[in-house]
Amino acid sequence: MECNGPECSTVQTSCSCEEKTSSGCGGCECPSCSGQNPLDFVVMMWHKAAMAAMLELKKERIKSRLEQSFGKTLDKGADAVVEAIQKKIQAAVQGSSTEQELRSKLASILNEATNK
């Protein structure tokens, strides 16, 4: 997570503290690695948590309004997608059955030819 003044990002890197300092992945933010005051670190982490929570609340508000405005339309679109997927699966199963039937017939023909 990074905080640059009024803008905060909740994106985390995949590096551990040891990897960050040894591989040049960027400095670790924990007090033991960075030498910062533990109280400052706690305040910064609470600030980041508050900003992440605020972002989640904003997303929830937008989602509820989108549901009110476009819910029925989104449902119809989802139904169309599910119907298309069902048809594709049915066609694949039917195609598989047809392919298996052809293989059985060819195997039977080859057995006849070799048993003569």
**Is the pLDDT score of 103 beyond 80?**
yes
pLDDT of residue 77: 97
Pick from 59, 47, 48, 57: which is nearest to 10 by CA?
A: 48
Domain-wise residue ranges, the chain: 2-114
Contacts of 10 (CB under 8 A, 6+ apart): 1, 48, 51, 52, 55
Structure tokens at 34: 């960075």
**Is the pLDDT score of 85 beyond 90?**
yes
Instruction: Kindly state the DSSP code that residue 5 receives in the 8-state scheme.
Output: T
Is 6 in a helix, a strand, or coil? coil
pLDDT of residue 1: 44
pLDDT in tens, 15-72: 445 544 454 555 666 766 767 788 888 999 999 999 999 999 999 999 999 999 999 9
Burial letters 44-55, b for 16+ CB under 10 A, else e: eeeebeebeeee
Contact of 3 with 44, CB cutoff 8 Å:
yes
